[in-house]
A and B are shown apart, each in its own frame.
Chain A
């Protein structure tokens, strides 16, 4: 649910990065943070455990510029991917304007991806959101690793509604901005309708 402030001429949208544990959600945000002009970004917050696993969420505010006189702001969140943090994942999806699903391409994580996708659908529904309707992008991450599932196979298993699919290596930034841009575009286009 975007927040449109006519008085301050601002629009704020919320994007959530979802996916199984260790798939690279936080790495996506870190790359965006490192590569964004300091004037255009706020502080990145990571609520993580001592071993750097996301405990609650990561948060990165971005000021993208202006459209038709309105400042466009995107707030990027990640969810904690580990299965037992489901209560927190549900909370973070509240009010999301768009979702990026980050899949871990490694063969060994094939089922974890599917499980996380099912979990995403359930949690969206609990927040009165539908995967069918929400702006959505699928990112196939870790394409540089050995033992990855072929793109076609993984796409067939996870692609849900003809959404854009990006191959990525988030550690070096491949596909990271393409993914963000694609999701942001869908959100802004939806606002215009």
Chain B
């Protein structure tokens, strides 16, 4: 059975943002970024000014997917943490639950130890929120709960307009 679409409502979105912002502050990080394993950006906070967040999301997911493939090749379930050290900025990437990737960008105002510690605590919280999202999606997918798709009454005309045709 195909997976249902990933539907996120305001309630969970606000909770995720609050948790990410707290992590950024507690870990003294520059940016905290949450991506779905398919490369879609879920939430971001911090000094995002100069960062191309769409590319960051896609490349992070690609990176995690490739590393996952490597893990399986050597008989590991996954490598749950990736760390990239730069001259100024560092990237800490970790898997959250089944579908989330948490990215923390930090410089010398923080340390890898502090980031790891805070990420661990935050991951557990985020996992619980993802469980709620998944549970809701499952009910909708199985038709137990009314879900009004924003595209339920989409017309050919609506789609043509997206491509600049009238």
Cβ of A184 and Cβ of B158 under 8 Å apart?
no
| Cβ contact of A8, chosen from B13, B149, B150, B162, cutoff 8 A | B13
B40 partner residues in chain A, CB cutoff 8 A: 3, 12, 14, 75
- Between B2, B40, B55, B154, the greatest number of chain A beta carbons within 10 A of the residue's beta carbon is seen for B40
Do A128 and B3 touch (CB < 8 A)? yes
Contact yes or no, B4 A56, CB < 8 A: no
The answer to whether B163 touches A191 (Cβ under 8 A) is: no
**B163 near A177 (CB under 8 angstroms)?**
yes
Q: Are A95 and B37 in contact (CB under 8 A)?
A: yes
A148 at the binding interface (Cβ < 8 Å):
no
Q: By CB atoms of chain A within 10 A, which of B2, B42, B150 has the most?
A: B150
Cβ of A188 and Cβ of B66 under 8 Å apart? no
In angstroms, how far is the closest chain A Cβ from the Cβ of B151? Answer: 4
Known: A45-B55, A65-B162, A185-B159. A57 touches B62 (CB 8 A): yes
Q: Which residue of B lies closest to A186 (CB)?
A: B159
| Interface check B14, CB cutoff 8 A | yes
* A residues 25-41 touching B (CB-CB < 8 Å): none
Q: When the two chains form their complex, are residues B7 and A45 in contact, meaning their CB atoms are under 8 A apart? A: no
Verify if B65 is at the interface (C-beta below 8 Å from A).
yes
A59 touches B55 (CB 8 A): yes
Q: How many A-B residue pairs have CB under 8 A?
A: 131
* Cβ–Cβ contact A6 & B9, under 8 A: yes
Chain A, interface residues (CB within 8 Å), range: 35 or more
Produce 1/0 per residue, A36-73, CB < 8 A to B.
Answer: 00000011010100000000110101001101111010
Q: Is A3 a contact of B158 with CB atoms below 8 Å?
A: no
Query: Considering the complex, which residues of chain A in the window 70-84 have a beta carbon less than 8 Å from any beta carbon of chain B?
Result: 70, 72, 75
Q: Which among A86-94, A135-143, A154-162 touches the partner chain?
A: A86-94
* B69 close to A (CB within 8 Å): yes
Q: How far is the CA of A14 from the CA of B36 in the complex (A)?
A: 12
Q: Does A5 contact B (CB under 8 A)?
A: yes
Contact among B3, B42, B59, B68 with A45 in the assembled complex (CB-CB below 8 Å): B59
B99 CB to nearest chain A CB (Å): 9
Question: In the complex, are the beta carbons of B151 and A75 less than 8 A apart?
Answer: no
Beyond A1-B4, A59-B58, whether A192 also contacts B152 by CB under 8 A is yes
Give chain A residues whose Cβ lies under 8 Å from the Cβ of B153. Answer: 68, 192
Measured between beta carbons, the chain B residues less than 8 angstroms from A133 are: 2
A2 contacts B by Cβ under 8 Å: yes
Establish whether residues B162 and A91, one from each chain, have CB atoms under 8 Å apart when the complex forms.
no
Asked if A7 is an interface residue, CB under 8 A from chain B, the answer is yes
18 pairs from A and B in contact (CB 8 Å cutoff): A1-B5, A3-B5, A6-B9, A6-B10, A7-B14, A57-B62, A59-B39, A64-B163, A67-B159, A69-B150, A91-B68, A95-B3, A95-B37, A188-B154, A189-B154, A191-B5, A191-B149, A193-B149
What are the nearest 9 A-B pairs in CB distance?
A95-B38, A7-B13, A192-B151, A7-B10, A91-B65, A3-B40, A64-B162, A192-B154, A191-B151
List 15 additional A-B contacts (Cβ < 8 Å) besides A2-B6, A191-B149.
A3-B5, A7-B8, A42-B55, A56-B66, A61-B54, A61-B55, A61-B58, A64-B163, A65-B161, A68-B158, A92-B65, A185-B156, A189-B159, A192-B151, A192-B154
